[in-house]
Structure 1
Amino acid sequence: MIFFGSRASRIKDGQINNVTCPNCENQTSMTYSIFGKYAHIYWIPAFPIGRENVVECNSCKRTFKLNELSEPIKQKFNREKEDAKTPIWYFSGIGIIAFLIALISYNSMQSDKENAIYIKEPAIGDVYSIKGSAFGYYSTMKVTEVTQDSVFTIISDYEVGKKSGVNEVDKSEYYTDQIEHLSKEQLISMYESETIYDIDRD
């Protein structure tokens, strides 16, 4: 379950001086507070969603929303609020998401670079994640011997329906005794066609 919602925090307090209160009609000052509102996911601020302003007469203690005040008071308030900046931490969630996307993209590019090297230079113990030709199953194939032109492998007897679960079938007791012989050209062709889509090398 994803927990999300909105919250607010006070970002500025101040005084508006020499104004006439619409309620008590005294020449007085007013205290204002500016609250920033933000959306959150799992209580981590994601992005700002607006502001709320509260103004209180220092004489009669009546509170007002901005649209309840006279134009002169609004103008003074608008000058006061110009330096009320939205806190950077309101964007924490966006920053975290952007960082994770960048990290995933970087790791994916690094993995692709390594795979491109490993497929051309196979080594004993390499484990290939493979996609079956039918029914969308996934399994693993392990390199047992490498010669100048050939690669010898054994294939796991078990299959899974999702790429994310393929590590579950990479267990020594699951591999068949039947050895598959492949030329290095065949191996590269399987990689280029994405039949082999990942390579794990210890």
Structure 2
Amino acid sequence: MNFIFGTRGTSASPIHTGQSCPACGKEDSILMMPYQRYFHLLQIPLFPTTKHFIPVCCSCETSFTIQQFPVTDEIRNRFRTPRWIFIMPSVLALLVIFIFVWVVVNAISGEIDIKDKVENPQVGDVYYVRYDKNEYSLMKVASFTVDSIYFYLSPGRAEDRGLDMLPGVDVYDTILKKGFSKNELKYNSVKEVVILKIER
């Protein structure tokens, strides 16, 4: 299970403390061996967790406890979390930002496209619309005036599954026409109808 997710550790370069070894007596031989723990998913580091220090003599290789050689603030500050541990969180953050920007840009460009096509309609334009209660249907431009657009309505409606799943949804009732003002359509303020997109 630890292979899929869990914590792992990595070591860094030893830090000289300037202290003598009580075991062999050699001066300036105590090193602090820093270890950084991090949480991983599929062996990919996600974020750092805790730091550990192990005092070791570089002469006799005896290990000591932190109680014997406490870690000073100076030593703690000299050990920085390895930068590569932050690569995946940085990539994920950039991905989230990219997706957010992409969604916003698409929403804005979609609104601009709808307003432009409502302002300059063409006979045959197909409006993808959503009614209340998540029902979807189509309307086709039959004719237009300076300030209004008249549509042939599709008698079929689809629920949640999408318009492509409903057979015959692109068949229009050419007898029944419905008209809306361009202002209503441009600002998506038609009661109980939301324009999703317009195909030309």
Please report the TM-score for the alignment, with normalisation by the length of structure 2.
0.68
Query: Secondary structure of 1:93's match?
Result: helix
Q: Give the conservation status (yes or no) of the 8 Å contact 2:48–2:81.
A: no
What amino acid maps onto 1:174 in structure 2? V
Pair 122,25 (structure 1): closer, same or farther in 2 beyond 3 Å: farther
Which residues of structure 1 form unaligned runs of 5+?
Answer: none
Match of 2:14 in 1: 14
Pair 32,120 (structure 1): closer, same or farther in 2 beyond 3 Å: same
- Which of 144, 148, 159 aligns to 1:147? It is 144
Pair 9,192 (structure 1): closer, same or farther in 2 beyond 3 Å: farther
Match of 2:195 in 1: 197
* In 2, Cα distance between equivalents of 1:116 and 1:196: 13
Q: Give the conservation status (yes or no) of the 8 Å contact 1:154–1:175.
A: no
Match of 1:178 in 2: 173
Query: Could you report, residue by residue, the CA deviation over 1:41-94 in whole angstroms, capped at 9, with x for unpaired residues?
Result: x77655x34332242513334375xx54523x534522422x556444143222
Query: Secondary structure of 1:157's match?
Result: coil
Pair 115,108 (structure 1): closer, same or farther in 2 beyond 3 Å: same
| Larger of the two Rg values belongs to structure | 2
Match of 2:158 in 1: 159
What amino acid maps onto 2:189 in structure 1? E
* In 2, Cα distance between equivalents of 1:123 and 1:44: 54
Pair 176,201 (structure 1): closer, same or farther in 2 beyond 3 Å: closer
Query: Secondary structure of 1:107's match?
Result: helix
* In 2, Cα distance between equivalents of 1:101 and 1:11: 37
What is the percentage of aligned positions where both structures have the same residue?
7
* In 2, Cα distance between equivalents of 1:78 and 1:51: 12
Which residues of structure 2 form unaligned runs of 5+?
Answer: none
Match of 2:184 in 1: 188
Relative to total residues, which structure has the larger helix share, 1 or 2?
1
Please report the TM-score for the alignment, with normalisation by the length of structure 1.
0.68
How many residue pairs get aligned? The number is 186
